[in-house]
Each structure stands twice: as structure tokens, then as C-alpha cells.
Structure 1
Amino acid sequence: MLSNQSEKLFQPLNLANKLELRNRLVMAPMTNFSSNEDGTVTKAEVDYYARRSKGVSMVITACTYVTENGKGFPGEFAAYSDEFIPSLRELASAIKKEGAKAILQIFHGGRSCPPNLVPNGELVSASDVAQDNNPAPRPLKEEEILEIITAFGETTRRAVEAGFDGVEIHGANGYLLQQFYSPHTNRRNDKWGGTLENRMEFPLAVVDAVKKEAEKATEPFIVGYRFSPEEPETPGLTMEETFALIDALADKNLDYLHASLQEFWSAPRRGADDSKSRIEWIIERVNGRVPVIGVGSVYTADDAKKAFETDIDLLAIGRELIIDPDFVQKIEEGRESEIVSVLDKSKQKELVVPDPLWNAIINSPGWFPGV
């Protein structure tokens, strides 16, 4: 029997009259480092997703790269060519077989790509602003920008052909779309840079290209957009600039917006006062125009219920679904006391976590509770 507090978590949601979601809990996109060298999905990866697709209403996959020079992580699966459609289909099928909707997250790493993973080790971005220990990227030429926009559309077509229920455009976490919008990484003085409106041109053009392909789908197919609310650098993105982006994205009739946050209740730095958390400011700015997904360090049923005290439409669960793949079912079945919130380092096999991801977790103290 569900408590009144839990009921909201399990209300169905119809996304834009396209997709009927069975509840309000989704699997957050998380890099797993576990694909084959050739960019295809491994069996271990498919099993990992299938194990976590039974309770949530929607699974957003780890990001896949739309061009060969956009690979952001070792062991990342590819989608930049039609040869990857069978691999993508295998992943979509495994998720959908367990009852969840399958959403493919699509991206380009830009200056964040490890040089050893991209052709000739050449990094590209909006401008030649280097990141950490990476070499400075080469600013993209106009024709290359247009090619990448087209590539996002083409990858969306592949997602449709592979049987996914939608795509999420990854405009967050400092990757290429954010590199164009950010005043820290975009120092251009052409139509793709300078003013806030010009810096927004590239991400919005990607949205248009993706939506154009999505609208050709014969089955319901959704498009979401993930963004990071702020950057620590000065100049860098502030909440104020994010509000402008939210307004522009809301005008594009997207099916959802996904705020990328480490902590659900984190406070703003700049561009909004700290009387509210970032997610509360975002929800206020969206003002019901498009569904919002919140995320960030949710490990218990109480964490999830508290998140829904805001007016978020959906809550993404990340690390907790690795720790306890049955998190959602346990809440739904009134077994909250059985939820595991600390990683049991002896249970890799039972948790169905591929070796590369498991090793990354175990060797990163503080990333997961219990490690």
C-alpha cells in the first residue's frame, strides 16, 4: 500500500500526448566506460541496463557521440554512422523489454574529449580555450559547425530506426553545446558568438535539427534537453543566462528539460539569490511550459519524496540505481526499509555492474556512499 507521500512518485505522466510514463522516476544518464573498442554495445552493458529497467518509467542512456571527433570517454558506445544501428537496437530492445521507455542521450564532447580518443588527437570547440590538462582546441569553422548540427539530426534518425522512444540532447556538463553557450569557452565574434543570442545559436540549431528528424518518426518519439544551470568560472554561465536559455528552449516545444545537478537542493551562485535552490528557480522560470526533470544525490525514499515537494514532473535517479537496482520497486511495494543506500563492494555480480564501471567506482573514493 502506497503512502500519500509516495503516491506522486507513481502517478503516470503523458509526455506531450506522445509517451505514457508509468511513474515519475527515471534512470539518470551515467557514463559506464563499458562498450567495445569498435563503439558497439557490450553484453555486459545491455545486461546492466536491463537490470535497471524494471521499476523506472524511462531510462536515459549514457551519452553517445554524434561524430567521430566527439568521443568523450573510453568505452563509450557510438552512433555516428548507420553501422551502429544494430548495436543501438540491442540496447533499446533490452530496456523496453523490461517495461521502461528507452531514451538515447546524444552529444559531442568538444574540448573535453581525451585527445587519444579522437582522430589525430585534434580537439575542437567554439574557441581555443583549453580545459585542464588537455591541449587547446581548434575553433570550429562555419562548415564544420553545420556538419555537427546535421550529425545530431542524423543520430536522431538512427535512434528512431533502432527503436528508441526518444533522444536527450546533452547540452550540459561542459560539453560542446554548453561550450558554445558559455562566455567562458565561446570567444567568437561571428554569428556563433559574442552576444548571448549568438552564443545560443548553435544549441538551438541542434534542437531544430533533432526535432526535424524526430517529427518523421512513425511511432511516438520525444526530444529532451539537458542543461547545467551554472559554471564556476568568471566569465561563465550564471542562473540569469540559464533562464534565458530555458525561455528559448521552452519556445521550441521540447518534451522535457533536464537540469543537471550534483545535489538536488544546491543553491545558486550568481544570477539568482539563494532564497531558493537552483531547481526551484528553474521550475519557477519554466512555469509549466515544459516538464522538468530534477536529479542529484537521491539515495532514499525520503530523498525522493522530498524532491517532489517542489513541482518537478520527473526525478532522475543515478548512483542509487547502481547501489540498489530495485529502489523503485521497493518504494512501490512498501518495502522502503529494505532499500540499500550504501554500495556493497562484495556484490558486483548481483548488482550486474560491468567491470570498467565497477573499477571506476571502486577507485574513486567519495563518488559513491560506501566507497
Structure 2
Amino acid sequence: MKTNYQKLFQDYTFKSGVYVKNRLMMAPMTTFSADENDYVSQEELDYYKERANGVGTIITACAYVSKSGKGFDGQMGIDHDGTIKGLAQLVEGIHSGGAKGVVQLYHGGRLAVPRLIPNEETVSASSIAPLEDRGFYSITQAPRALTTEEVYGIITDFGEATRRAIEAGFDGVELHGASGYLIQQFVSPHSNHRTDEFQNPSLFSLKLINEVKKVIEEYATKPFLIGYRFSPEEPETPGITMKETFSLIDELIQADIDYLHIATTDAWAKPRRGIVSDKSRTECIAEYINKRIPLIGVGSVHTPGDAALILEKGATDFVAIGRALIVDPHWVEKAEKNEADTISLQLTKNDQRQAVIPTPLWKLILEIEGWFPVER
């Protein structure tokens, strides 16, 4: 193995006791491929199992914890006990390859898709409409502000989802506090104009962590992770800047979780505002954390060299691989065998079966120009 790749394949044990075989993770990516009941589909089972032999950890596509929080067509649910059977099959496939399985817990808030939720009524920290189109859907309607009681109800939903994850056999949960979804909507000065206790921007996140910990204490019979994914900045003004992010990081570290996971499409993008630095956001965050908690870097990882650079220059502890692992399910094994030159860096129109990509996801890959590298 090339010397600069060796660190990618060092093992690690988190403070909760969860052991992972290397520093590479599969990033959480929406598949749009659950069945008509929002249960895990056979295509999803095949997709994750094919990618489980290399990475140390698979973080699944986000699963909604409440009916009011569904944000994607074909999104899997973890909102009732009927979902447990399929989730158990999913994690069994992940474990069969030697990877650990973490399910990402999600509520879309004001970015839930109206036609997919009860009464088409979106909810959020406050009744502030989204300013920008983010992702696959254009959501412009103003949400209804959650009552204090309803906020506590959603906290309970995250706890119940954690119980289901434990019963299904997962090794942890990741709270989706990024990409403008509900958890971030409480953190953001743009979307949180509350006057109750939840006007404190970090309180919702901290209450969620506390609830998840209580559930783990009651139900887990083996070590179990809590991770938190965050977007370091927002485009809105007012909005989250690096200054707010550093404050949130301190609170999350104090809450004693297992890891933090940056959400960014480019690991080397510079900060927009809040601090002045010539370094990337990844480097600034890693420097601020100063090894107080494990950090996952992500964004524009195409080759093993890209991943190694994030660990070295970016000073993160882990690297999450996204689209590159969809393009080549065996990216990690090839890197470990020093066969990086055989890694596929683009898809052809005939690669769906070979790459084991679910049909709904495959259709979008072909439809959306520039999203994936596809030879046309």
C-alpha cells in the first residue's frame, strides 16, 4: 500500500466503544428508492451490501422520524415499528461486509415536501419561508411554527427512532443537523425567531442528544454511536456563519457525542463570513476542534489521494466518500490493494447493474446533467 494511503486504513475505537476497521465512511446519500410503504427496498439492500466490504462505516440515507418530516420521494421511514424488519435486513447486509452501520435520523421541517406529508402542512421553528431552492425540490411555502409541545413531541420521535435503530441492530445514529433541515432551522438566526425556550439556537440539538442518550441507556446492549452532521455556513443573511458554527461545536462537544460530520460539497471551500482565514472551512473547523472530538471531512473526494489529503492537510480523523462510492462500489478495496488506477471515475449509460444502483436513483443520475460524471 502506498505510504500516504496507510492512514486511511488505520482502525479506531470511538469513546462509546464502537470499533471501526478504517477511517473511510460511506457518506449519507438519498437513494429515492424505498418501497411504496417507505420501507427499505430490495434494491436498497443490494446497493448497501455491495458497498459494505471496504468502508469501515456506512451512514445510510436519511430516514424520517415523523410523518411531517418526509423530504424525498422514496425516502425510507423510521417513524413506526413496522419499519424495523427492513432496517434489520439493511444492517445485516452492511455487517456482512465488515462495516458498521449508522442510520441518519431526519426531519425536513420547512423543506419537507408538502405533497408527501399530512395536510401538506410544513412545520418549522418559526413561520419563515425558505429563501432558496435547495436540492431536488423547490419549496417556497411558509411553514407553520411548531408549538413548544410539538417540539417536544418531535424530540420524542427522534428518541423512538433511535430505539428502532437499536432494535434493528445498527451501531449508531447520526442526527441530520445540516442542509437546511429542521435541526438546522432551530440553530439558524434566519429561521428561528422563537420567543420560548427554543429561541436558544442550540437547545433543540442538545435536547435531541439528551433524548437519544436516554434511549441508548435503556435499550442498547452493545456500544452505540451518536454523531451529528452540520452545515458550517448558510447563504442567508442573517444566517449561520463560522462564528455560530464554532459556538455550536463547543456545545456539541460538551454534550459528549461520538463525532461531528461536516456537510460540504467541497472540502477545500473557504469560509464565506464569520471569520477571516486563507484556510478552508475543513481546516478551520479541525483547527478549532483541536482533537477534542473525532471529525469527519467530506467533499470532492474522487481518488484515494483526495481522501488522504483531507486526513493530512484537512486534519480530520475520518473521510466520508459520496458519489465516488456510487460510481465504483469497490473504490475502497481497490485503494487498499494499491490498485487506485483501476478505480472507475465515471459511469456509462450501461453501468447500472454493474454498479448496483437502485433504479429511481439511476434515473435521476441520467436525468440531472452534471450531478454525476456520466459518459454521454
State the TM-score, normalizing by the size of structure 2. 0.96
Q: Give the Å deviation of 1:43.
A: 0.2
Contact 2:148 2:196 in 1 (8 A): no
Contact 1:214 1:222 in 2 (8 A): no
State the TM-score, normalizing by the size of structure 1. 0.97
Q: Take 2:292 and 2:120, find their aligned partners in 1: how far apart are those partners?
A: 42
Q: Give the Å deviation of 1:12.
A: 0.5
Q: Take 1:95 and 1:305, find their aligned partners in 2: how far apart are those partners?
A: 24
Letter in 2 for 1:212: K
Which residue matches 2:104? Answer: 105
Q: 1:253 aligns with which of 235, 245, 256?
A: 256
Which residue matches 2:7? Answer: 8
Q: Take 1:300 and 1:370, find their aligned partners in 2: how far apart are those partners?
A: 17
Which residue matches 1:230? Answer: 233
Q: Give the Å deviation of 1:360.
A: 1.1
Q: Take 1:37 and 1:83, find their aligned partners in 2: how far apart are those partners?
A: 13
Which residue matches 1:18? Answer: 17
Which residue matches 2:136? Answer: none
Summarize the Cα distance change of 1:204–1:327 in structure 2 as closer, same or farther, 3 Å threshold. Answer: same
Q: Take 1:278 and 1:269, find their aligned partners in 2: how far apart are those partners?
A: 9
Contact 1:214 1:223 in 2 (8 A): no
User: Which residues of 2 match residues 53-202 of structure 1 at below 5 A?
Assistant: 53-131=52-130, 132=133, 133-193=139-199, 198-202=200-204
Summarize the Cα distance change of 1:274–1:366 in structure 2 as closer, same or farther, 3 Å threshold. Answer: farther
- 1:115-148 CA-to-partner distances (Å, cap 9, x unmatched) read 0000010100011111254321000001100000
Which residue matches 2:210? Answer: 208
The SS at the match of 1:170 is strand
Gaps of 5+ in 2: 134-138
How large is the Cα RMSD of the aligned pairs?
1.0
Q: Take 2:347 and 2:243, find their aligned partners in 1: how far apart are those partners?
A: 37
Which residue matches 1:317? Answer: 321
Gaps of 5+ in 1: none
Letter in 2 for 1:208: N
- 1:195-242 CA-to-partner distances (Å, cap 9, x unmatched) read xxx121111111111121123311111110000000011000000000
Q: Give the Å deviation of 1:84.
A: 1.1
Letter in 2 for 1:44: E
Letter in 2 for 1:9: L
1:264 aligns with 2:264: no
The SS at the match of 2:73 is coil
Contact 1:89 1:162 in 2 (8 A): yes
Letter in 2 for 1:40: Y
Higher alpha-carbon deviation: 114-123 or 207-216:
207-216
Q: Take 2:324 and 2:217, find their aligned partners in 1: how far apart are those partners?
A: 34
Which residue matches 1:348? Answer: 352
Which residue matches 2:368? Answer: 364
Higher alpha-carbon deviation: 266-275 or 54-63:
266-275
- 1:39-79 CA-to-partner distances (Å, cap 9, x unmatched) read 11100011000011110000000000111111110100111
Q: Take 1:84 and 1:308, find their aligned partners in 2: how far apart are those partners?
A: 36
Q: Give the Å deviation of 1:336.
A: 1.0
Contact 1:149 1:206 in 2 (8 A): yes
The SS at the match of 1:143 is helix
Contact 2:16 2:224 in 1 (8 A): no
Contact 2:246 2:288 in 1 (8 A): yes
Higher alpha-carbon deviation: 59-68 or 280-289:
280-289
Contact 1:114 1:134 in 2 (8 A): no
Contact 1:52 1:325 in 2 (8 A): yes
Q: Take 1:8 and 1:26, find their aligned partners in 2: how far apart are those partners?
A: 14
Letter in 1 for 2:156: T
- 1:131-177 CA-to-partner distances (Å, cap 9, x unmatched) read 25432100000110000001111110110000000000100000000
1:337 aligns with 2:308: no
Aligned residues: 366
Misfit runs of 4+, over 3 Å: none
1:32 aligns with 2:38: no
The SS at the match of 1:242 is helix
Q: Take 2:26 and 2:229, find their aligned partners in 1: how far apart are those partners?
A: 14
